[in-house]
Chains A and B, each alone.
Chain A
Amino acid sequence: MEFSGSLALVAPEIVLTVAGLVLLLVAAWAGDKAARTISIIAVAALAAAAFLVAPALCSGASGADTIAFLGQYKADAFASFAKLLIYGAAGASLMIAPPYLERFGAMRAEYPVLIVFAAVGMGMMVSATDLLTLYIGLELNSLAAYVLAAFLRTDNRSAEAGLKYFVLGALASGILLFGMSLTYGFTGTTSFEGIRAALDGSIATGTVFGIVFMLAGLAFKVSAVPFHMWTPDVYEGAPTPVTTFFATAPKVAALALTMRVALDAFGTQALAWQQIIIFAALASIVVGALGAIGQTNIKRLLAYSSINNIGFMLIGLAAATQAGASAMLVYLAIYVAMSLGGFVAVLMLKDADGNAVEDIADLAGLSQHRKVLSLCIAMIMFSLAGIPPLFGFWGKFVVFQAAVQADMVALAAFGIAASVIGAFYYIKIVKIIYFDEPANKATGKSDWAHQAILALCAAFISPLGYLLTKWLGSLADSAAASLFSVV
């Protein structure tokens, strides 16, 4: 394909890259005073990028027309679906940050710039059809994320989170690279299409090792058990808006990337990786559920909850079918709304002086003085637990249905039975908020941006969300179809 055609396909990344570079210059000249303005422009850039990727999703783009730079990059409907979620989550993370960071005098101009660069990286991750594009995208996102985790320089916990994330992230990248090198060595190519063709038929033991190492590296990025250890520490230590970001956009990107690697590059050898994914899925569900029970910090609890949710999504991947991929995308969309809502609600929990309240015990009796906020938290908790009629149930429903359709009834039965363990800690939060005597800790006022985003998320996960199932389902179906269309 011609160079100009390729450039047109990567237009969203170009818009974001240019915006990021320009904003970096603005940040350098104008300083931290302009932080809010830069944030607004960054949100506008993300919106523009979203506007550019939306047509590919609506038209269900797939096939040769979507491949850019000689098979390095693919702007198909699947990538568009993931990018829309990523840009949405990144935009929300920008909007909720100023009220929080300004309290610490840390609303610096670099914050929006880093988020924009991370978004570029994530966009490349989900569009990658070559191991090298994959790695560049992943590292661009990760480097921005390490800095973001340590964004509150004066806070020891934040610095610790950044360091931990960096060391473990670098280790995971190394594992991933090792897997990629094995794959390259045994298949002789770095392009997904080539790997797919090379693996059609038999598979060498070395390639199996390559798959194992690559999946291990990716499991770290999606925080699936047994590579989840960093998650609670980083989520707790990082500033809450950054945690919100970590729990949403990079999760989408890493999971979409894992899907592309497993279903596209290694799609012809599903048996080689299915067992690994099944183990990771069940282990994530169980560890995520059990680990959360003893937590006293709400951010750590939500971290375990996200591990738990990743487990459910991996069940869709374990099915290795188009329906499974579509179900994962639906679940991802709902998961982003639930996590976003959950962390924004945490941001809104402040004491009378405006300090963050993160101790679960301090939420006791919250429903007595913060009725709407309590209702939203209760809805998010029940939704995360997958209790109908909240929308979180739908995510689990489609994923398990895909597993049942792929004849994995035992996996589905085990997974759903384990979800009851998770229900215990979610309803514990509801119990603390609704049943206990008021502790009157979280009495502070909330910012309007937080309220608006929480209201949007709550409306989405409310039973009204079911009205979107057809629309969401058809988008996810066309995205999954484009992932499965072999050129």
Chain B
Amino acid sequence: MAGFPILTLMLLVPLVAATACLFVEAKAARSVALVATLINLALGVVLWANYEIGGAQWQFTERVELFAGFSYALGIDGIALMLIVLSVFLMPICIGASWESIQKRVGEYMAAFLLMETLMIGVFAAQDLFLFYIFFEAGLIPMYLIIGIWGGDNRIYAAYKFFLYTLLGSVLMLIAMMWMVNEAGTSDIPTLMAYDFAENAQTWLWLAFFASFAVKMPMWPVHTWLPDAHVQAPTAGSIILAGVLLKMGGYGFIRFSLPMFPEASAQFVWLVFTLSMIAVIYTSLVALVQQDMKKLIAYSSVAHMGIVTAGAFAFNVQGIEGSMIMMLSHGLVSGALFLAVGVIYDRLHTREIDRYGGLSINMPQYAIFFMLFTMASIGLPGTSGFVAEFLSLAGIYQVSTWVTLVCTTGIILGAAYMLYLYRRVVFGEQKNADAAAMPDLTMRELAMMVPLALAVLWMGVYPESFLAPMRADIAALDARIARAAPEGDSQLKIGPPKSDKADAAHGEEAEHGGAH
């Protein structure tokens, strides 16, 4: 594989397909989009299979000096690899979810989605600061169009809000980037990750980056664009928004804020923790009273992202690992939940929870999948959500027991709103005749649900597959920020190391809980 520009290929396949989609009629556009996303999925699998665990930190690197002022430099580490795999995994499902529900301007729709895929992969693969920014910011255009053209009734307000909020967040980051490049003399991300900026400069740079990533994440109180965007976006738009776009914020924190500004990150831990705690509790409570299914899941996303940020700023390996797994898990689970909402929305054309009820009677298969994803969202052991929550909370505990207490309360609230949603939609009596007459999952819907369910279970039962590629990178990040790590209040006593045998017998969680 050495020397083969697989990342460029992964960028080009959807781009070429997007151009093709603009020129063909609806039916062909759907097929072109599906084939292109499946090719990219296959390439993603090849990428994962060829990724050498424990090898060089940056693999599949490419560098061409195409432009003035910045270079076309691609390359991935384990963290980027996992997020790229997540993106290419969700894309065919997005195309499948819009197969029948999108009937107007299909070619343009598919083109927007494929363009989105190129940009998402580009964000995670970019190794040049400005190249990253271009991909990061360009995502606004297709998403603006997706929400605005194919969204719900209040789509225009949501599209504006999404666009302007995120743009305002990121322009200041651009100025900070220019300052950094001017100071360090290079726009190469790996070099910048090892560059030590002066401490007082770090503060400003950190805040500028924070403005961008906090909006993208989104963190309370700048999360208000998310429920609007989610509710108005078409199903596939919600999947990609929750599944991948939100991860750009978390990726930004882990790739830029922490390694480039360790001192400033430590200085602002209180800010991140406070906002995360508020997000976890407040948005969970808000989710509890929602009447709109999509809005409920959108608020639950904000709550889960609160755990991601708190975990990332725990300054230890478990916290960062937990935060990464939470991003991957949330990508799968919230994507699946939006898909589940989309399935019944396609049948009844309403997202109002009260219009449904007793779906377990007429849609048993649907009820099973919906339950699995509900449980994964709550964090039931055996699903990906559990691994994510356990690792993050174990990491946060080492820094602050209070934050852990609050975040865990949020998880209890999470169980409350998700189970309450599930009870109202799936159990109880069949109140409405039209809802009671809805047919069960079609083959197409099954084909989308099954891979998601398998991935959720895989990550829950054997998370090592996902942790292994990231381990070395997270350890390197931990070593980089260790000098600034804040004092913890949990006063952990490190016991005698266990024998290898005991470790192996305990399985994954025990290994990570105890080894560090």
A163 lies within 8 A of chain B by Cβ? no
B167 to chain A: which residues have CB within 8 Å? Answer: 387, 420, 423
A417 to chain B: which residues have CB within 8 Å? Answer: 168, 171-172
A99 to chain B: which residues have CB within 8 Å? Answer: none
B164:A423 contact, CB within 8 angstroms: yes
* B205 vs chain A, min Cβ distance (A): 11
- Please judge, given known A-B contacts A423-B167, A431-B148, whether A387 and B140 are in contact too, CB under 8 Å: yes
Please, how many angstroms separate the alpha-carbon atoms of A343 and B335 in the complex?
43
* B197 vs chain A, min Cβ distance (A): 14
Most central of B69, B148, B159, B178 by chain A CB within 10 Å? B178
Please, how many angstroms separate the alpha-carbon atoms of A409 and B69 in the complex?
18
A427 to chain B: which residues have CB within 8 Å? Answer: 144, 160, 163-164
A413 lies within 8 A of chain B by Cβ? yes
- Please judge, given known A-B contacts A404-B179, A417-B171, whether A469 and B69 are in contact too, CB under 8 Å: yes
A419 to chain B: which residues have CB within 8 Å? Answer: 171
A354 lies within 8 A of chain B by Cβ? no
B156 lies within 8 A of chain A by Cβ? yes
A31 lies within 8 A of chain B by Cβ? no
B156 to chain A: which residues have CB within 8 Å? Answer: 431, 435
B149:A434 contact, CB within 8 angstroms: yes
B164 to chain A: which residues have CB within 8 Å? Answer: 420, 423-424, 427
A388 to chain B: which residues have CB within 8 Å? Answer: 133-134, 137-138
B141:A387 contact, CB within 8 angstroms: yes
Binary CB contact string for chain A from 240 to 284 against chain B (1 if under 8 A, 0 otherwise):
000000000000000000000000000000000000000000000
- Least CB separation from A401: chain B residue: B178
- Please judge, given known A-B contacts A400-B178, A420-B167, whether A435 and B134 are in contact too, CB under 8 Å: no
A90 lies within 8 A of chain B by Cβ? no
Binary CB contact string for chain A from 393 to 430 against chain B (1 if under 8 A, 0 otherwise):
10001101100110001001100110110011001001
B442 lies within 8 A of chain A by Cβ? no
Please, how many angstroms separate the alpha-carbon atoms of A382 and B137 in the complex?
12
A393:B145 contact, CB within 8 angstroms: no
Q: How many residues of A contact B (CB 8 A)?
A: 32
Contact of A397 among B69, B145, B182 (CB under 8 A): B69
Contact of A435 among B149, B168, B175 (CB under 8 A): B149
B4 lies within 8 A of chain A by Cβ? no
Contact of A401 among B69, B135, B159, B172 (CB under 8 A): B69
A409:B175 contact, CB within 8 angstroms: yes
B175 to chain A: which residues have CB within 8 Å? Answer: 400, 404, 409, 412-413, 416
Which residues of B are interface residues toward A (Cβ below 8 A)? 66-69, 130, 133-135, 137-138, 140-141, 144-145, 148-149, 155-156, 159-160, 163-164, 167-168, 171-172, 174-175, 178-179, 182
28 A–B contacts, CB within 8 A, in A order: A387-B140, A387-B167, A388-B133, A388-B134, A388-B137, A389-B138, A393-B137, A400-B175, A404-B175, A404-B178, A405-B182, A409-B175, A412-B178, A413-B172, A416-B172, A416-B174, A420-B164, A420-B168, A424-B160, A427-B163, A430-B145, A435-B155, A435-B156, A435-B159, A466-B66, A466-B67, A469-B67, A473-B69
Which residues of A are interface residues toward B (Cβ below 8 A)? 382, 387-389, 393, 397-398, 400-401, 404-405, 409, 412-413, 416-417, 419-420, 423-424, 427, 430-431, 434-435, 466-467, 469-470, 472-474
